[in-house]
Amino acid sequence: MATNSAARSGHPGSFRPWEARLPLLLTYVFLVIGAVLMLMPFAWMVSTSVKPDHEIFGDSIRWLPSQLDLQNYSDAFKQTNMPRLYLNTTVVTAVSVASQVLLGSMAGYAFARLHFRGKTLIFFALLTTMMVPFEVLIIPVFLLIKFFPLAGGNNLLGQGGTGLINTLGGIMFPGFVSVFGVFLFRQFYLSFPKEIEEAAIVDGCSRIGVYWRILIPNSKPVMGTMALFAFLWSWNDFLWPLVVVKEDSLKTIQLGLSVFDQEQGTAWAELMAASVMAVLPVIILYIFLQRFLVSGGLTSGLKG
């Protein structure tokens, strides 16, 4: 009774429910503001993609066009050969995602559970490579694919041909494995209960059986997280395909957007329409895999 009367009295020391909710309310306000700021460029891109040219370069900012000009999408689709760009990018991305998830999980399991000489040194050496920008590695990686044995006319010593240059394999080469993926899977496997693996080994299961039958089925969160990251890296990659590929039939979707940067100027309406088509798969995949992104980040931990 005394507590209730003190709360109704409005005394400075009394409990006020809105005071407890104020930090949470401010958090939501800042999150909403941040979300709006992040969505504004995308909303402007979509708006520009359906505007006629005279409204794009008008004196005033117009978010909603007076009339929808869907011809921009038709023109962008035809000028860029979008089906071919989608096919090339899908093939490269699918191979990169599959290889990074598979090889990353295998290497992560080896560093987390197996015991061999120099394991810690090798792991930290791999982590060190994450601090090196890819721009620094472009020339060495380019030379690796140019002198790749038995590819593009090369002999066993990598001489006489062009190797993997100007091929989809050359685009895929740097994305076969990711050090970040190895690190992510290792942290996840370190947090996985050893007792389950030991019980399986006692029952006669081999190390490979433990990996395939126990760890892989329980690794869906971290696998989804890694798949999403690998997809984003490969789908949005521009610099490496630009270096490796010259033929239009082998270009990825990010390279295809450069066709709108012409001598007479940039065709902004068609460029924005093509950009919307390029970003749609990323948005759709993120909607389906965002739960893995959160749960994978929580379960991978930082146990070392």
Residue 293 pLDDT greater than 70, yes or no: no
At 265, is the secondary structure helix, strand, or coil? strand
pLDDT at 11: 53
Give mean pLDDT, residues 106-116. Answer: 90
Cα–Cα distance for residue pair 192/276, rounded to 1 Å = 40
Q: Who wins on pLDDT, 8 or 169?
A: 169
pLDDT at 123: 92
Per the structure block, which two tokens stand in for 158?
Answer: 């990598």
Q: Give the mean pLDDT of the chain.
A: 84
Give mean pLDDT, residues 35-60. Answer: 84
pLDDT at 171: 93
Model confidence at 97, pLDDT cuts 50, 70, 90, reads very high
| Distance set, CA 66 to CA 46, 55, 109, 196, 274 (Å) | 14, 8, 57, 63, 21
Cα–Cα distance for residue pair 61/51, rounded to 1 Å = 12
Give the CA count within 13 Å in the CB-facing half-sphere of 234.
31
Give the residues across from 261 on adjacent strands.
266
Classify residue 174 by its DSSP letter: G
Model confidence at 13, pLDDT cuts 50, 70, 90, reads low
Tell me the per-residue pLDDT of 15-44, one tens digit each, with 9 for 90 and over.
566 666 778 888 889 999 998 998 898 888
- Residue partners of 22: CB distance under 8 A and separation at least 6: none
Q: How many residues does the chain have?
A: 304
pLDDT at 301: 47
Least confident of 32-46, 62-76, 117-131: 62-76
Tell me the per-residue pLDDT of 131-142, one tens digit each, with 9 for 90 and over.
888 889 999 999
Percent above pLDDT 70 for the chain? 88
Name the residue among 239, 236, 286, 201 with its Cα closest to residue 93: 236
Percent above pLDDT 90 for the chain? 29
pLDDT at 88: 93
pLDDT at 302: 42
CB pairs under 8 A, 24+ apart, for 128-135?
A: 129/179, 130/179, 130/180, 130/183, 134/174, 134/239, 134/240, 135/239
pLDDT at 181: 92
Decide if 164 contacts 173 (C-beta within 8 A).
yes
Which CATH entry fits the domain spanning 79-300: 1.10.3720.10, 1.10.3470.10, 3.40.50.280, 3.90.1520.10? 1.10.3720.10
Torsion of CA 44, 93, 73, 243, to 10 degrees: 80
Domain ranges of the chain: 1-49, 79-300
Residue 303 pLDDT greater than 50, yes or no: no
pLDDT at 92: 94
pLDDT at 125: 92
Tell me the per-residue pLDDT of 165-203, one tens digit each, with 9 for 90 and over.
999 999 999 989 999 999 999 999 988 888 888 888 888
Tell me the per-residue pLDDT of 247-279, one tens digit each, with 9 for 90 and over.
888 999 998 888 887 767 778 888 888 889 989
Q: Who wins on pLDDT, 296 or 162?
A: 162
pLDDT at 6: 46
